[in-house]
Structure 1
Amino acid sequence: MTLALEWIDERSEADEAAESGWPALLEKLLNAAGEMEGIEDGVVTLTLTDDEGIRELNREYRGLDKPTDVLSFPMRGGEDPEIHYEDEFETLEDENPEEADGDPFAELLGDIVISVPRALAQAEEYGHSVERELGFLFVHGFLHLLGYDHEDENGEKEMFAKQEAVLSKAGLSR
């Protein structure tokens, strides 16, 4: 298995011409970030939404009734994973015992949700390309899936340094 990006677009309108390169760019960033972190396998689901869609998720999962730019929902936990499933689910082990450990979510790294209008506004505000902002938000979300956080100064420095390294490798430096 390799790293894979599943793509969901919940927006009612999209600029297909301007966004045509986004899937290839984000797959490139996923692979670069995965390589940096030693992650060779897994699936990341990316959902593109609008401010209202991300506001609803932010309210439901974080108790904050306002839009944000990116949310991450990790599927892999440490010793106390947040995802639970019933025994009646068919597992990969049932299908191919050589390739699974019995966990039907083993290959899922998690979900990243990005508000495209917020990304567009932030790209303009920061004076860089939409691709750089989208890439920044995606890599930021991916690192959250792996357990990185920026709750304190050291965590923030580490996380942001890793983000910049991946973005620079992809030619999206400031």
Structure 2
Amino acid sequence: MDLTLEWSSEQEVKEITPAFIEKLEELLRLAGELEGVTEGEVALTFVDDEAIQELNKQYRDLDKPTDVLSFAMSEFGDDEIRINYEDDGEADLDDLQDGETVSEGFIEPLGDIIISVPRAIAQAEDYGHSVERELGFLFVHGFLHLIGYDHQSEEEEKIMFAKQEDILQKAGLTR
């Protein structure tokens, strides 16, 4: 198994090209290697400010748009629903590779990353770098949140942002 990226976009964005999706897959691979995460699926959705504001309000009680939100599958609070995956014997066996069982065909979801494209475009302009770099930064930031990193303290922020910069540099997404 590998780390996989499933993505969707609720809007047309010229920066989201097949080559850019390949760059995001490279970022995921690099971040996974750095953190020892070798398997799992990350679901990425590109949205507008209105959609991310609604999610921010619903899940964080903040009625304003933000640049990125992450929803890790491994974090279960008292108010979250646990999903149990069971083999009911009705899996589509045609989708399995030779020698693979139903449970082997299942890719463990790491979580969801939601990125506001208009916010990323504005931030790229503010910081004086490309939109691709900003989207890549937000994606790596979201991934690190999925695997447990946070930036509530100054020390946590230094660690997380250093890891992000290292990954972006390795992928050639410089400022």
- TM-score normalised to structure 1 length: 0.85
Q: TM-score, normalised by structure 2?
A: 0.85
Q: Count residues with an aligned counterpart.
A: 165
Q: Secondary structure at the match of 2:52?
A: helix
Q: How does 1:17-28 map to 2 (within 5 A)?
A: 18-20=15-17, 21-28=19-26
Q: Counterpart of 1:42 in structure 2: which amino acid?
A: G
Tell me how far apart the structure 1 counterparts of residues 67 and 165 of structure 2 sit (CA, whole Å): 18
Provide the residue aligned with 1:168 in structure 2: 169
Q: How has the CA–CA distance of structure 1 residues 166 and 58 changed in structure 2, closer, same or farther, with 3 Å as cutoff?
A: same
The partner residue of 1:35 within 33, 37, 54 is 33
* Ranges in structure 2 where 5+ consecutive residues have no aligned partner: 92-100
Inter-partner Cα distance in structure 1 for 2:89 and 2:171? 37
Q: Percent identity between the aligned chains?
A: 60
Counterparts of 1:94 and 1:81 in 2: how far apart (Å)? 30
Cα offset, 1:172, TM superposition: 1.2
Letter in 2 for 1:70: V
Structure 1: gaps of 5 or more residues = none
**In structure 2, what is the equivalent of residue 74 of structure 1?**
72
Change (3 A) 1:84 1:98: closer
Where does residue 123 of structure 1 map in the other structure? Answer: 124
1:49 equivalenced with 2:47 (yes/no): yes
Secondary structure, aligned partner of 1:44: strand
Instruction: Note if 1:114 corresponds to 2:120.
Output: no
Partners of 1:136 and 1:167 within 8 A in 2: yes
Paired position in structure 2 for 1:6: 6
Q: Residues 133-168 of structure 1: CA distance to partner in whole angstroms, max 9, x if unpaired?
A: 001000000000001000001110110010000000
**1:14 deviation in Å?**
2.7
Taking the aligned partners of 1:7 and 1:110, their CA distance within structure 2 comes to 12
RMSD of aligned Cα (Å): 2.5
1:108-141 residue CA offsets vs partner (Å, 9 max, x unmatched): 0000000000000000000001111001000000
Displacement of 1:99 in angstroms is 3.2
How far apart, in 2, do the equivalents of 1:109 and 1:83 lie? Answer: 15
